């Protein structure tokens, strides 16, 4: 049984995602997979330890949802939630086939929103100094704007372990402050503003006929001896 730190309300966007996930439990399109190709020396044990530190650093990566018997769904941060880290050696094997199979199984597996954490990782050695890294998570706890922040923290934590020196990272942002800010907005004024802005638009938005696949971001980075480079922001990474 995990120990809970605190419970927060959902933001309006999270509420919409939550409703979607409940309605599409077998084909939840809100599962996100970030795939990085890392080139250079990588100590997988130190990297796994950096991943554990990353989960401890960011409360969102230790969050699950509770809603049965509650007036509204809430996100609960768990103190001791530990993410699954799958480390494998695929050298000399059909890497593309294995990676695609892993990603598909990860999609089918999905996430139980009641169970923290809503994230997991894969680290696969594909050559002498070549690795594929996968960060899988539910969109409820992370969006594309935070990808660069989280990955840069990860690489700083890894470099800390390589050098044995503190990474010097500032305190992680407090999502609770953002939730409070959103809930304290004048929603009537916001609604009136957008009604005014859209008053002269008569056409409705039409959803595409084809069902999109879960979001996947693909990027690459070189891993020098002193740790991986900082990752590009999401706008510079390839998305598919």
DSSP 14-28: HHHHHHHHHHTTTS-
Give the whole-angstrom CA distance, residue 110 versus residue 33.
Answer: 11
- The model's pTM is 0.81
Percent of the chain with pLDDT over 70: 82
Give the whole-angstrom CA distance, residue 59 versus residue 76.
Answer: 9
pLDDT band at 4 (very low <50, low <70, confident <90, very high): low
For residues 165-169, average pLDDT: 91
Model pLDDT, residue 69: 84
pLDDT band at 35 (very low <50, low <70, confident <90, very high): very high
CATH of region 4-181+213-239, choose from 1.20.1080.10, 3.30.465.10, 3.30.559.10, 3.40.30.10: 3.30.559.10
pLDDT one-digit tens code per residue, 104-123: 999 999 999 999 999 999 99
pLDDT band at 7 (very low <50, low <70, confident <90, very high): confident
For residues 191-198, average pLDDT: 91
Higher-scoring residue by pLDDT: 74, 224 = 74
Model pLDDT, residue 130: 95
Is the pLDDT reported for residue 208 higher than 80?
no
Written as six digits, the tokens of 80 are: 């001791």
Distances (CA, A) of 93 to 89, 90, 96, 124, 126: 9, 5, 9, 11, 8
For residues 185-205, average pLDDT: 86
């Amino acid at each position: 049984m995990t120990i809970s730190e605190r419970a927060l309300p959902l933001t309006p966007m999270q509420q919409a995602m939550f409703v979607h996930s409940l309605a599409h439990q077998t084909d939840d399109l809100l599962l996100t997979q970030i795939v990085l190709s890392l080139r250079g020396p990588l100590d997988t044990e130190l990297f796994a330890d950096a991943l554990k530190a990353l989960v401890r650093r960011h409360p969102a990566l230790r969050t699950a949802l509770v809603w049965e018997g509650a007036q509204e769904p809430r996100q609960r941060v768990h103190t001791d939630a530990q993410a699954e880290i799958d480390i494998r050696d695929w050298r000399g094997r059909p890497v593309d086939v294995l990676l695609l199979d892993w990603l598909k199984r990860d999609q089918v597996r999905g996430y139980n929103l009641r169970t923290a954490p809503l994230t997991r990782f894969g680290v696969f050695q594909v050559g002498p100094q070549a690795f594929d890294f996968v960060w899988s998570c539910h969109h409820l706890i992370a969006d594309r704007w935070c990808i660069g922040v989280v990955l840069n923290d990860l690489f700083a934590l890894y470099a800390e372990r390589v050098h044995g020196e503190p990474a010097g990272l500032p305190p992680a942002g407090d999502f609770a402050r953002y939730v409070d800010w959103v809930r304290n907005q004048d929603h009537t004024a916001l609604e009136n503003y957008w009604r005014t802005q859209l008053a002269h638009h008569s056409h409705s938005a039409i959803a595409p006929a084809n069902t999109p696949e879960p979001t996947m971001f693909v990027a690459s980075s070189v891993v020098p001896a002193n740790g991986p480079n900082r990752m590009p922001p999401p706008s510079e990474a390839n998305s598919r």
